[in-house]
Structure 1
Amino acid sequence: MPLPKFLKEPWRPEVAGALIGLVAVLQIIVVRSPWYITGPENQFGGWLFYVLTGGLLNTKEWAYFNPNSPMFVAPAAAPWEPANKEFMIVWGFMLGAMIAKAIEGNWRLRWPANRMVVLLSIIGGLMLGFGARLALGCNVGNFVATIQSLVFSGFVFFLGMAVGTFISTRLIEDFLMEKMHKSKPIRIELGSNVDNRKVLAFALAATLLTTLYWWGLGIWAAIAFLYLGIAYGFFGSKGNVCFTSMLRDGFWSRLAPYGGNARAIAIALAIMITGNLVLKYGFGWQYREFLFPVGVHTFLGGVLFGIGMVLVAGCSFSSAYRSGEGSIPHLIAWFGMVAGMTILSYVWPFFFTTSIYLSPVLHFYDFFGGNVAAGAAAAYSVALFIALVGSWRDGTLQRLVQIPPLKILAPRLHV
């Protein structure tokens, strides 16, 4: 039986953004936690460094990973360990995108165009990791997930990302573009022509085997994270949703001004805010919110993360799901991000004691005398601002404003 046509074609990013927002609300209901990514990746990085160095880097004793430390966050753990079951959401991103592209018939290995791309993927990935760990979260955990809960750190991290993407966009478009074109090309044909039916079969088999593994352990939460991740990755891939494009193309780029991703993220954010308000304040639903303290570390982490996003042409979400699409540059960047987070975890005590521990947790409504409605309006305004700026830059708003008024034809009177 042939698949529906809409599954074989790309989607508008706004549609994908709306579906991602709904999945994020569903995640609050199913696993009682907001959408997040980098925490489990950091745990994976701690384990990976330990294994690759044969224990010479005893990451398990670092304050970040050591349960006996007062600065402990999470243990270093492999993706298949129950202590890191949340990593299944990242694995789901990759499988979901693989399924999406295989159904379209567009899955293939995409190798770096030249050596400069490889270098930027490594440097940008490291900066993504540094920024995400310094700010306690990435564009998902410390932007949409915190603003969803009306936590002010998300707004400060957004400002930092905006500054970082401006710096990096100007760097790329004004100085590095010519060097990238002159860089020695990399010509690899391996995986450029594959049977997408086999790719789809592999992705479905991997999904089934992963499900059976966690079912055998009786850890249903891991299965839930897996399928939530598959949904995020599938929708993200179908709409080519990317937070990098939201800021680079929607705010700063002179070469490719485009507001589709800005509108997609704004729609997803608005749905997530609404879901939080209805569930938490309407039904009293309790879940693990990210009450991140806001301080210098939040803004600085956002700046580093923003610079890294443009260098790799991807965020923590899109780098993961595009790896599942077969993009080798994004896979390099993803491992770079994991390495960056793990490296910064080594100096975690310094940042924890000098900024993070000393910083307050603030909500939007704290600036309005505790008025939740006013705080929610401020959070919605962030989404509206993102949508309007992106829509203005790509001309969508101007076209809407210039719609000619409907002409009402009055009957002629004959005397």
Structure 2
Amino acid sequence: MKVLIQNGHVLDPVTDRNGVYDVLVEDDKIVKVEKGITAEADKVIDAEGCYVMPGFVDLHVHFRDPGLEYKETLKTGGEAAVHGGVTTVCAMPNTKPVIDNGVKISEVQNRAKKESKTNVLQLGSVTIGQMGEDLADIKGMAREGCVGISEDGKSVMNASLYRRGMRAAKEAGMIVFAHCEDITMVEGGVMNADARAEELGLKGITNAVEDVIVARDILLAKETGVQLHLCHCSTADSVKMLREAKKDGIHVTGEVCPHHFILTSDDIISDDGNFKMNPPLRTQADVDALIEGLKDGTMDVIATDHAPHAAAEKNRSMKLASFGIVGLETSAALTYTELVDKGILTPMQMVEKMSTNPAKILGLTDKGSVSEGKTADLVIFDPRKEYEIDKNTFFSKGKNTPFHGWKVKGEVACTMVGGKVVYEGGQIID
């Protein structure tokens, strides 16, 4: 099948292409990017006034499948992804059962090929059952194509065990995705430790809970040589330490989520579980540091930490609510509105953070670029569209977002995965 995208503003950091071009797709590949393509096609898309970008690659999602399908499934998570222009995701392993061996990796990825509209890269856990006692089958997971390991939702608190896991990952050519949290220091906290927490009568989580593990993991990465990726960074000191680690030549990258570069704890005006996330919303000083890190390239990636929950688990006091919010269907619009439209990042930098850089981190040489020979994972993004985020339009089972009713600019108009249009005009395409 041939698809011709006409008159779109192509953004491609790999080739530095930044202008109006036509894009011809044949089967699953981009075969031509030129001005004025006249080839016949089975489908023609007029992208005038829109950006044509490589599909977004989200390094951090929770699809809850297997075992927690009442929150999300490979199918609904995939639909949420393509609604948000996300064509590849890394799914965290804290499912039931935990994904901790090659058989489980294979099962999920084979099912995802049949059930999900997006490409799913299933990550494995560092330890068996995420219990922090014995290493998972890291070699076995690597043999099944697993690109990385993570104890996401917690840190491996035994530094010696974690170091052995890093060495095994290094040997297998895998990435370590680090959720940096010293669980011994959380002490029942549910939001950032500051004046707003005191006003609401809620226990706080200090920045040090994140920072001490960031420091530890960077030092362990320096010793082992493993490729380390810091998930959902939220503090000014995390940015500072990552910046220094890069100067020191350590193989480490970092991501920021939209909620952490937009919201602060001051936005929590009542005891609302939809504002409960881990790590928590921090202060304006932290937000400013995260934004500066995105601007200067210290922070490589914008990811979502998409964490769907049932309504009953979120529509309650923060003391009782589950941690996490959904993000796949709002991240592009929020990034464009808060960073690009305000002149903080250029449109090309948005593509770097959401597509090209994460593809590079994963070693996906066929993705993250709108250029000849690459896989046709593409998103057409309309920067003119203004609207309010409505959680009731989400394809995800999770509606848990603090951004319901938030005014944004920029909308995903069409998503292609492997040359096939899978989302267009508000509809999932079968």
Task: Specify if TM > 0.5.
Answer: no
TM range (shorter): under 0.3
Structure with higher helix content:
1
Query: Which protein has the larger Cα radius of gyration, Structure 1 or Structure 2?
Result: 1
Q: TM-score of the superposition, structure 2-length normalised?
A: 0.27
Structure with higher strand content:
2
Q: TM-score of the superposition, structure 1-length normalised?
A: 0.27
Q: Which has the higher contact order (CA 8 A, sep 6+)?
A: 1
